[in-house]
Structure 1
């Protein structure tokens, strides 16, 4: 039965390390629809009709159709009666928005604004939480979700963070600058005076784990108080702190031919990227940086010719 086959497929992929949270929901919904439609095998027509009905965007339809195609290949190896949807003909390139790269002055203003947020009863932690969170993201390039998932046990000796099972099902160690470790220690001392039994590093009112909604709401207030890009049609995001970290790290990369690849691999590992192409994207997203590295590459090429 297709529904059981979908559960079996997801269980096998998860045993190989994939999370597939959205894919599991999508395939469960699709196979239930297909069975209700009278299908005993995956049919291209059913897949196309279902994806068109459940998603209003080309990107959403392509994603669901790709998930069905991967599932269909798995079943096709066992039974050639399963049809594999030709999902690639529906491909639409994903246009990633250009990141906002914060200046050093803007980061300082944001930290000051966060440290002066209005206190909320019954928790006096609001100012400390958001100032520490923004500072940590800017100084380490962590994803917001990674920072919010930090537990006290993940704070290792010698200023090391243990980032567990994140976006690409990877864990990694992230070193912090001594100044960041000192600020984190000061934050933890304040946290210890008001926190309850929850061991998340970042807590909200009532000692509960901080959620993304609360973070984004406070961040918008911080941007406004700090006067960051007030006339920009698209507001800067908290995720742009990660882009800023990566861009500044790349700008400091050595330009010697034998060092460039090493530096890229090191940064890719530090950021927890699943593939180094995601690290290279920061060059595309920052034309000035791309120009600097292109100029350095031309110099290297000239040295070889000479």
Structure 2
């Protein structure tokens, strides 16, 4: 049965460190659909028919197709009766969206505006919570999900964050700058007075884990009030604070190859990337980086002439 095949496939890949929460839901939905059509093996026609029933963006549909292709290859290695769907011809034309790189002034405006968000009279923590949350993501390059799952016990002595089992079930230690530690300590004192019963560093009004949807809504509201990129059709995201952190760090590499290599390895580890190639994507075309690239090119030309 295809449903049993999904169980085997997901279990095996989780042993390798993958979480696959969304992938599991997607594959189970396809298996239910295919079984309803009387399929005992993966059929390319059933894959295409199922994708037509899925209400999502073209990018999400392409990701679901990729997941099904990997699943089909896994089963085809055992039983050649399983068909491997062809990759969508339009998928290769889709590009990963370029993140919005905030300026230092824009980040300051975000934090200033977050400190003025509307709150209930009894909710004294809401303003400092969002200032600390957005500031921590910007200053440490955390994923939003990593920040929201932080507990008090995850704050180690010396201002080191213990990020537990994030992508690929990896944990890591994230040291904070002294200025961030000072702000965090001030927030912790207020946090203990206002929501002492909750274990979460950034609790909801009900003292539960703060929902990402709530955070995204609050961030969009802050951007609108701060007047940041109002002309853009695609509004900047809170996750772009992480991209900004990585990009600004790489800007400090300069043009010396050894320095660049050390920065890349350190940054990849700090961000929790499983592959350093994921860090290369942060080489955004900021003016500073373009200047460094030009300087490096001039040095290279000069060496060849000499």
Structure 1 length-normalised TM: 0.91
SS in 2 for 1:174: strand
SS in 2 for 1:86: coil
Residue 94 (structure 1) aligns with: 94
Measure how far apart 1:289 and its partner are.
4.1
Question: Are 1:122 and 1:206, in contact at CA under 8 Å, matched by a contact in 2?
Answer: no
Question: Are 1:122 and 1:205, in contact at CA under 8 Å, matched by a contact in 2?
Answer: no
Aligned runs of 1:237-256 on 2, under 5 Å? 237-256=237-256
Q: Provide, for residues 17-43 of structure 1, a one-character-per-residue CA deviation record: whole Å limited to 9, x for no partner.
A: 111112111111212222221222222
Cα RMSD after superposing both structures: 2.1
Q: Provide, for residues 160-189 of structure 1, a one-character-per-residue CA deviation record: whole Å limited to 9, x for no partner.
A: 111111133321111100110111011010
Distance 1:90 1:111 in 2: 40
Alignment CA distance shift 1:222-1:66 (3 Å): closer
Residue 175 (structure 1) aligns with: 175
Question: Are 1:139 and 1:245, in contact at CA under 8 Å, matched by a contact in 2?
Answer: yes
Residue 227 (structure 1) aligns with: 227
Q: Provide, for residues 183-213 of structure 1, a one-character-per-residue CA deviation record: whole Å limited to 9, x for no partner.
A: 1011010010121432110012132222122
Question: Are 2:10 and 2:20, in contact at CA under 8 Å, matched by a contact in 1?
Answer: yes
Alignment CA distance shift 1:41-1:106 (3 Å): closer
Q: Does 1:295 align with 2:289?
A: no
Measure how far apart 1:266 and its partner are.
1.3
Residue 192 (structure 1) aligns with: 192
Residue 265 (structure 1) aligns with: 265
SS in 1 for 2:101: coil
Residue 148 (structure 1) aligns with: 148
Residue 278 (structure 2) aligns with: 278
Residue 135 (structure 1) aligns with: 135
Alignment CA distance shift 1:270-1:94 (3 Å): farther
Residue 16 (structure 2) aligns with: 16
79-88 vs 191-200, which moves further: 79-88
Measure how far apart 1:139 and its partner are.
0.9
SS in 2 for 1:168: helix
Measure how far apart 1:55 and its partner are.
4.6
163-172 vs 129-138, which moves further: 163-172
Distance 1:21 1:47 in 2: 20
Alignment CA distance shift 1:169-1:303 (3 Å): farther
Count of aligned pairs between the two proteins: 305
Question: Can you give the 5+ residue segments of structure 2 that lack an aligned partner in the other structure?
Answer: none
Question: Are 2:251 and 2:289, in contact at CA under 8 Å, matched by a contact in 1?
Answer: no
Distance 2:233 2:79 in 1: 52
Alignment CA distance shift 1:202-1:86 (3 Å): same
Distance 2:78 2:22 in 1: 25
188-197 vs 110-119, which moves further: 110-119
SS in 1 for 2:228: coil
Alignment CA distance shift 1:60-1:197 (3 Å): same
242-251 vs 180-189, which moves further: 242-251
Distance 2:67 2:25 in 1: 11
Q: Does 1:72 align with 2:36?
A: no
Structure 2 length-normalised TM: 0.91
Question: Can you give the 5+ residue segments of structure 1 that lack an aligned partner in the other structure?
Answer: none
